Chain A
Amino acid sequence: MADIRLEKITKRWGDVVAVDDLDLTIEDGSFTCLLGPSGCGKTTTLRMVAGLEEPTAGRIYIGDKLIHCSERGISVGPHQRGVGLIFQSYALWPHMTVYQNIAFGLEMEKMNKATIETRVREAASWMQLEEYLHRYPSELSGGQQQRVALARSLAPQPDCLLMDEPLSNLDAKLRLDMRTELKRIHAMTNMTILYVTHDQLEAISMATVVAVMKDGRLQQLEDPLKLYKHPNNLFVANFVGSPPINVLHGNIFAEQGIWRVRTSDMVFSLQRNPEDDVQIKDGQNVVLAVRSEDIVLDDPSASFAMTIYSSLPTGSDTFVRLTRGDLAMMAKLYESDSLPVDSQVSVGFRPERVLLFDEDTGQRISLGSSLVGFTEATAS
């Protein structure tokens, strides 16, 4: 078992910077998800850890072992890094049976036949593949192929398991099954897992730590639930969560411990969170952001009127699209209800859930304020 440390890792292809000065530690035994939109450098990062790509600059350690150092030209071969890798396409060898696929890596380690047999059967039984050992990959379903890929990576008992969007080729139901499976594998083996995905739901539901990346830079490294609640910046706030977080653009003014955010036709009064230790400048451009499930309808306290544009009940809950002038928000109600179109509702936010970001830098200002008042804006 081992942790993985990336120090000042940069990867460039010509003028394109895929990964930019990345410092990242993946704790021993963690299930770390690299999350980000396509092209953010997450797969490149994973491949650099695996040894399939060579960083332009920086160092990588697995445990105590320096496996890459650009400065000294050191780069340990992929095989000596003790990692398992699961590819997006599974990369099963189509001309080999399931048994041969799983056994290949063991053969390469020059194990004797009996050991190989034991290991293969062990890995297969883990993944419930015993009856398919003599089939070819093309004779298996997508989910079974995925399990063969897992068994193949697990059989040599690597210290770390790297996975590159392994579930993206499965349908929704199978994907859910496999998620539970993977989480279970992690719990049982306590292996260090580095998992690349662009699916924020997948990341949050499976990971013990999520690393959000954008444009080759690490945005936030966080426990998944905190990440959702306290995104470091607007990008993370937007990327994590579905539907995307609601945003209102305005200017902020401080008045007697109360923050007032003035938008085009409204002024929101916010009770600042005592944990926030920030200085604001009066008139600073800010973004006020609220998750859809933190919007409360018909709230008696601080509230303002909006119009129901349309509502989409899903059975368990309801998404409501609200408008007011050029402002639009999506609210999520934990009840199934079909609300009449064009009716007026009063809208409020759950306490300590209003996030504020600096519009220019995108950085978070507040950990969560409460809406305490609201007024129509007057032309000033």
Chain B
Amino acid sequence: MRTTTEQSNQGKVPLLLERTWNRGRRVVANPPMLLSILLLGVFVYLIIVPLISLVHSSVTLHSRDTLRVLGGKVGELTNFYFQRVFASNISEVLFYQPLLNTLLISFSMSALAISIGCILAWVVVRTDIPFKKLFASAAVVPFILPSWTISLAWMTIFKNRTVGGSAGILEYFGVQLPDWISYGPVPIIICMALHYYPFTYLLVGSALRDFDTRLEEAALVLGAKQSIIFRRVILAVVAPAILSSFILTISRGIGSFSTPVFLGNPINYRVLSTRMYASLQTGSPGDAYVIAIVMILLAILLMFLSNKVLGKRKSFVTITGKAPKPQLFKLKKLRIPVTIAVGLFLFCVIVVPLFVLAADTFMRVPGVYSLDNFTLHYWIGESTPGLVDGRPGILRNPSTWAALWNSVKLGISASALCGFFGILIGYTVVRMRGTRISTVLDQLSFIPYLIPSIAFGAIYLSLFAVRRGPIPSLYGSFLLLILATMAKNFPFAAKAGSSAMMQLGHEVEEAGIIAGAGWFTRMRRLILPLQRSGLLSAVMLPFISAMRELSMVVILTTPGTQLLTTLTFQYSDYGFLHMSNAVVLLLVVIIVIMQFILQKITGSDLSEGLGG
């Protein structure tokens, strides 16, 4: 009866052939396997090849430098740039000083941001101050705004006459400001801290919120003093959150571009990112690529350190069980002063900058704050010779609308692609879990997170500036912006996709397999309908980040592909600060609306977008 058992061996070679044939057929018919190979291809093209190209570009001679390296031919291998950056008479200018500045700024800025974030988080979460809801959501706003908003506002207020041009508001009212307040490390550190403190605020805040007060109560019952409880219990539990916000903040600090560019460049104070940009600007891309490599290595080192430190302690944060509502710390007499202090702080960080920027856009002659100087020209004025080189006001200016349209177009296309790939990556990584290819995909999708935006821009520039074999040059094309924005946002999209898939579990799909549904049917009828919210956050976050991204795209945009962000940068570069301010305000309005929609639709708070 059981004849099947007997019809086995017909000699070794046919068996091997049969096995290979049967297995091969299954691999081909296995969509996750095919998908992961496909995705691997996409990742290699969008992440690995650009990285290799970056390294390659740093050791080949660029066109302008044929004036420097005599007898050199464009494209030939050279260690000229490495030597120039690390061991030449201008290395100090090109690399060592900017490196020191970068480290100084990143560390001080992180320290300040963390202090602000912790204090705010504690006050908002654990004390009995009023207006909690308002404060809680207001505290995150600085991070939603484009990162250079505060720097522009700072310039508008604190600019002195050292570097010429119109002075800021304070000088207008007769206050003489020393250089170190107007430009350089101090304002850079302050402005960046004010932009990045929400990292700490959110992470520490949620640690404090989830913090099981029973731990605190247990210590209290055992007779510990408040100070000891704070030090030994609260701090110990919140420490990992502080540590991870430190890593997040400092890694952003290392790559940060816009604040140093506005506040450092006027006095020639350079950090790695602005030095790199300057090198690109002044026609020395080779130097820029070497610096980009250093920035990437720095970021990887940080990530490695953080994994070392955080890896061990992570378990601390995951305290399970429903904790009782924490007992709020009674501020008593201090309640009103603290409320005023917090309110004032948020007012200064959110309302004042926006107000100052807005006010500045209504001043015909910059820096003269009188009523007869009031004008709507920079918003709706018609082209007037002599005012901002005859440009019409931004709402009348076709370049504003073109840039806005480009920004929206970029946001939509990059985020749609991100959503698509996010779901696919999530699906593949989760479905193929345990296999090597899944691990590789997972890790590859994380790489763009490690790379500072401006370095990422440089990588794409290096790859797509010229045709390389089968890879066409995409320089100046909109597609390049889309690809770069998409790839830069892969980590968030992949994370959103895979966490949605994880939540879904594999059994939902397996039930479909057992029922006999083919892969496309399963995707269409079982998986995708259940991924809506995951898809949405995989789409919306890249959209918002594409709308306010500057440091990456500033390298990649061309006059034909100007975005709102690069437009503000360009205006300020031309010295049209009021035009720049007006565009920033326009951008702020758009971003706030988008953020509002995102929150309404997903009900998620911003902390998910931090990619911690």
A residues contacting B by CB (< 8 A) are 13, 50-52, 61, 64-66, 70-75, 77-79, 83-85, 87-89, 91-95, 104-105, 108-109, 152-153, 156
Contact = CB atoms under 8 A, between A and B. Distances in A.
A61 B4 contact: yes
B26 to A, nearest CB: 6
B517 A71 contact: no
A288 B109 CA distance: 71
B505 to A, nearest CB: 6
A83 B515 CA distance: 9
B164 interface: no
A306 B433 CA distance: 55
Interface string B8-23: 1000000100111111
Contacts of B23: 73
A65 B4 contact: yes
B513 to A, nearest CB: 5
Nearest to B436: A14
Contact of B516 (A66, A95, A105): A105
A104 B515 contact: yes
B18 A91 contact: no
Given A78-B513, A79-B515, A94 B15 contact: no
Contacts of B15: 71-72
A225 to B, nearest CB: 30
B18 A73 contact: yes
A84 B525 CA distance: 20
A71 B4 CA distance: 14
Contacts of B530: 93-95
A64 B510 CA distance: 25
* Contact count band on B: 20 to 34
A88 B19 contact: no
Given A85-B511, A85-B514, A75 B19 contact: no
A104 B521 CA distance: 11
Given A13-B434, A64-B2, A73-B21, A78 B514 contact: yes
Nearest to A69: B8
Given A72-B22, A73-B20, A95 B514 contact: no
Contact of B510 (A91, A92, A109): A91
Contacts of A95: 529-530
Nearest to B529: A95
Given A61-B4, A64-B2, A156 B515 contact: yes
B462 to A, nearest CB: 38
B366 interface: no
Contacts of B222: none
B507 interface: yes
B1 interface: yes
Contacts of B18: 72-73
Interface in B188-209: none
A72 B508 CA distance: 30
22 contacts: A52-B514, A64-B4, A65-B4, A70-B19, A71-B19, A73-B21, A77-B513, A79-B514, A79-B516, A87-B507, A92-B511, A93-B508, A93-B511, A93-B512, A93-B530, A95-B529, A104-B512, A104-B515, A105-B514, A105-B516, A108-B521, A156-B515
A91 B515 contact: no
A79 B4 CA distance: 20
Contacts of B507: 87-89, 91
B526 interface: yes
Interface string B529-555: 110000000000000000000000000
B501 to A, nearest CB: 14
A93 to B, nearest CB: 6
Contacts of B434: 13
A8 B495 CA distance: 40
Contact of A52 (B8, B510, B516): B510
Contacts of B5: 61
A91 B32 CA distance: 20
A83 B505 contact: no
A71 B8 contact: yes
B4 A89 contact: no
Given A13-B434, A73-B22, A75-B26, A52 B513 contact: yes
Nearest to A105: B515
Nearest to A74: B22
A104 B517 contact: yes
The 4 closest A-B pairs by CB, nearest first: A73-B22, A73-B19, A105-B515, A79-B516
Contacts of B4: 61, 64-66
B586 to A, nearest CB: 40
A86 B563 CA distance: 54
Nearest to B29: A77
Contact of A79 (B2, B19, B513): B513
Contact of B526 (A13, A78, A93): A93
A13 B21 CA distance: 23
Contact of A87 (B2, B510, B516, B521): B510
A86 to B, nearest CB: 9
Given A61-B4, A73-B23, A92-B511, 12 more contacts: A13-B434, A64-B2, A72-B18, A73-B20, A73-B22, A79-B516, A84-B514, A85-B511, A87-B510, A91-B507, A91-B511, A108-B516
